[in-house]
Amino acid sequence: MNKIDLSIIIPHYNSPKTLRKLLESIPVLDSLEVIVVDDKSDKYTEELREIRSDKRFEHVLFLSNDTEIKGAGKCRNIGLSLARGKWVLFADSDDFFVEGFYNIVSKYFDTDYDVIFFTPTSVYLETGAKAKRHLTYEKLIDNFLNKGEDSELFLRFYFKTPTSKMINRQFLIENGIKFSEVIVCNDDFFSVKVGLAMRKFTATKETIYCITDHENSLSKKKDRMYFWCCFNEILKINEYAKNKLSPSDLKKVEICVVELLYASLRKYSISLSDVLKAYMELKKHRKPFLSTRLVKRFIQRFVLKRK
């Protein structure tokens, strides 16, 4: 059998058009395996069959999530269980890799890093114009490379996407790191566990991955079911962080009541009863009402406005 340097794992649901573009952005090489796991697609199934039968993609391992658990987390875990590469890259089926990305990642194949972070970019799917979805991750990497205050802690904790970073597969096995098998926010806890467990890592301004932004993006879902799913994952993450971070570092990243509820009201269609229930749950877990980070942000904005 050929040596596999890299496994690319892709969960897919009802988006064969963008999946085709993603697959076309990946070179066909003996050292690279591509695993696509379909999450019970119920639309555009004929287009998906056409992709699976396309000779250009005969090197791709197409799988189906035949379990009772739905979601990208389950699909990623299925792919991860079958991956053979020394390294793993995760991709979403509506994104794509930039031209020449393999030449960039291959430079790290013989290193002993746990994780390599790459700076992503983003575009609007409909127009191809530059979008803003990558800016948070770009800033995290810039601050880390410039050795900003707490930049390593924030890179470890807030780079909450499994994409645009190459992970040593043995590192995941040794630390027992898998994705949460929930309908949304499955990657947040995974990324935090990776970030807090990694010992040797690096980051670069080089770009290998493009995130797309569009109206049907899962990140724009407003249903209250998505809110409660993400809310519960956030609580798990913060409980996990308690055992991994010093009290001082925990204060810098811990959620606070005001921040979480304000963000939730902007993103989700939740009722007053949902807000009250969430508040009581946060209070039960003794979450701070305000955080030092949030207070600093308010002060900075106030000073900038005064200027």
DSSP string across 112-143: --SEEEE--EEEETTT--B-STTHHHHHHHHH
259 to 115, 119, 282: CA distances (angstroms)? 29, 26, 12
Question: 83: domain CATH number?
Answer: 3.90.550.10
State residue 216's pLDDT score.
54
State residue 214's pLDDT score.
78
**Planar angle of CA 263, 14, 189, nearest 5 degrees:** 40
Mapped onto helix, strand or coil, the DSSP state of residue 71 is: coil
Domain boundary among the residues 183, 215, 247 is at 215
Residue 1 lies in a domain: no
> How far apart (Å, rounded) are the C-alpha atoms in residues 118 and 297?
27
What's the average model confidence in pLDDT over 52-70? Answer: 96
Name the residue range of residue 261's domain.
224-306
State residue 56's pLDDT score.
96
**Planar angle of CA 116, 117, 122, nearest 5 degrees:** 145
**Planar angle of CA 248, 254, 258, nearest 5 degrees:** 130
Residue 73 lies in a domain: yes
What's the average model confidence in pLDDT over 180-186? Answer: 92
Residue 53 lies in a domain: yes
User: Please, what is the average pLDDT of the chain?
Assistant: 92
187 and 125 within one domain: yes
Q: How much is the pTM?
A: 0.92
pLDDT(300) > 90: no
pLDDT digits (tens, 9 = 90+) for 211-255: 999 765 554 557 888 899 999 999 999 999 999 999 999 989 988
State residue 289's pLDDT score.
85
